[in-house]
Amino acid sequence: RSYRAFDVDSVKDYVAAQGELTERLGTAAAGELRAREVGDGNLNLVFIVEGPGGAVVVKQALPYVRLVGDSWPLPLKRAYFEWNALTRQATHQPQRLPGLFHFDPVNALIVMEYLTPHVILRKELIAGKRFGHLAEHMGTFLAETLFRSSDFCLAAAKKKADMALFADNVELCAITENLVFTEPYFDAPLNRWTRPQLDGPVLSLRRDRAAKVGAQEMLYRFTTKSEALLHGDLHTGSVMVTATDTRVIDPEFAFYGPMGFDIGAFLGNLYLAYFAQEGHEAYPDQRVPHREWLLETAESTWSVFSETFARLWREERGGILYPRTLYEDANDETGATIALHRFLHGVFEDVVGFAGAKMVRRLVGLAHVEDMESIEDLDRRATCEAKALLMGRELLVNRTTFGDIYGLSCLARAIRRE
């Protein structure tokens, strides 16, 4: 057997031949199935295959970057890392993931639950919708997946084995190393920005020594700080929502890295959504409650993360670092609390720096966000983007100066009003 990329016809034959899916689909006959390709991400094929009894999603890696074409090859083994990340996350936080049905390493595909009526969070944020459970769900997901894959919880041998497994996700890490931390800061051929409106800010960024130093420092942390198994690409396009439910999808960039990278990616995308709001309404003031909700969601995600992490620290701490036995009497419990707060302080600084880097790359690098791209009036789009760029740069450069998460909301409001 060798790899083949499926299309809407051949994927039906493939799915029909997988006996474990028959009951779910209500048929084993390809002729009774319907398939459509719905992938709108940068890398993969995504099919929805429906039978008389139900539907599944088939996500298949292509041997190249879909966004760019076959001039940019990309290994199929990313499906293996995605599967391994999903199965590990499922042991930590199954409620926030799609159900997992089948993995085929040869065809680099995963068959999973068809989430309905779920929709991609980014699209809902653009439409001005709000989700009351989002911060609670995301903060808990982040704390549980990050804490439980770290040295604070896992046995040392297991953590080292997992680090070794995911260390081979080299090419996807290289995408992040280049596209997030490097290319936005020089005249890289694939960079894009709203021209000519953003030419000035882009040129300034390339001459901005402090921003470049900040980006290099965050890159170094990204490559060296192997704290936890990360999702690795936790933007608002990797989250699906309903009014009551939240699911996290697509961890193909998974590897052992700094906890603040996942949290910063999510928060940075909320701030991008915040600055994009004024591009989406004839009367921007109608978006005030939504804008404020985006900032509150960023604040609450961090609060829920840190509170849940603290609870896990008290209840589940068991790895090689800070074992419970070190803190048996009351004084030592104080020591454990001090250690926890020092650790979270460091995570927060990373969150701020990574959020900034993630914002900058989506404005002047190769891969942009629909929040901004869907603003048709280019002057208006550029105004939103320039403010977001200013915030991203501030977070990157001054990441040590923010006392708490509320300082980030204040900065966002101040820059928006300028």
What residue ranges bind ligand SR1 (CB under 6 A)?
42-43, 65, 67, 175-176, 179, 233, 367
Report residue 14 as tokens: 């493939």
Q: How far is the CB of 410 from ligand SR1 (least distance, A)?
A: 28
Nearer to ligand SR1, 319 or 365 (CB): 365
Q: Interface mask (CB under 5 A) for Mg ion, residues 32-71, using x and -?
A: ---------x------------------------------
> Residue 262 interacts with Mg ion (CB under 5 A)?
no
Closer residue to Mg ion (CB): 265 or 415: 265
Q: Are 324 and 367 in contact (CB under 8 A)?
A: no
In the complex with ligand SR1, which residue's Cβ is closer, 24 or 231? 231
Binding partner of 27, given Mg ion, ligand SR1, none, CB within 5-8 angstroms per partner class: none
| Per-position b or e across 104-133, b if 16+ CB within 10 A of its CB | beebbbbbbbbbeebebbbbbbbebeebee
Contact 145, 89 (CB under 8 A): yes
Q: Name, in order, each residue with C-beta under 8 angstroms of 313's C-beta and a sequence gap of 6 or more.
A: 147, 152, 336, 340
Partner in contact with 179, chosen from ligand SR1, Mg ion, none, beta carbon below 5 to 8 Å by kind:
ligand SR1
* Partner whose footprint covers residue 178, from Mg ion, ligand SR1, none (CB < 5 to 8 Å by kind): none
Contact partner at residue 146 from Mg ion, ligand SR1, none, CB < 5 to 8 Å by partner kind: none
Decide whether 190 or 288 has the Cβ nearer to ligand SR1: 190
CA–CA distance from 347 to each of 136, 254, 389 (Å)? Answer: 19, 18, 23
End-to-end Cα spacing for the chain: 60
Q: Which does 65 bind (CB under 5 to 8 A by kind): Mg ion, ligand SR1, none?
A: ligand SR1
**Contact between 261 and 271 (Cβ < 8 Å):** no
The reply on whether position 113 binds Mg ion by CB under 5 A is no
CB of 362 to ligand SR1, least distance (A): 9
Compute the CA torsion angle 383, 388, 394, 395 (nearest 10 deg). Answer: 180
CB 385 to ligand SR1: min, Å: 18
Encode 258-297 in three state secondary structure: CHHHHHHHHHHHHHHHHHHHHHCCCCHHHHHHHHHHHHHH
By beta-carbon proximity to ligand SR1, the closer residue of 85 and 411 is 85
Contacted by 165, from Mg ion, ligand SR1, none: CB < 5 to 8 Å by type:
none
Task: Report which secondary-structure segment, H or E, holds 70.
Answer: strand 69-73
Kind plus residue range of the DSSP H or E element containing 174: helix 170-179
Which among ligand SR1, Mg ion, none contacts residue 76 (Cβ within 5 to 8 A by kind)? none
Kindly determine how many residues on this chain lie close enough to bind Mg ion according to the rule CB under 5 A: 2
Q: Which does 267 bind (CB under 5 to 8 A by kind): Mg ion, ligand SR1, none?
A: none
Question: In Å, what is the CA distance from 273 to each residue of 102, 291, 383?
Answer: 34, 8, 14
When the beta carbons of 41 and 264 are compared against Mg ion, the nearer one is 41
The least distance separating ligand SR1 from the CB of residue 270, rounded to whole angstroms, comes to 16
Q: Say which residues have a Cβ less than 8 Å from residue 342's Cβ, sequence separation at least 6.
A: none
Q: Which residue's CB is nearer to ligand SR1, number 43 or number 270? A: 43
Residues 221-250 that bind Mg ion (CB under 5 A): 250
Query: Which spans of this chain sit near Mg ion (rule: CB under 5 A)?
Result: 41, 250
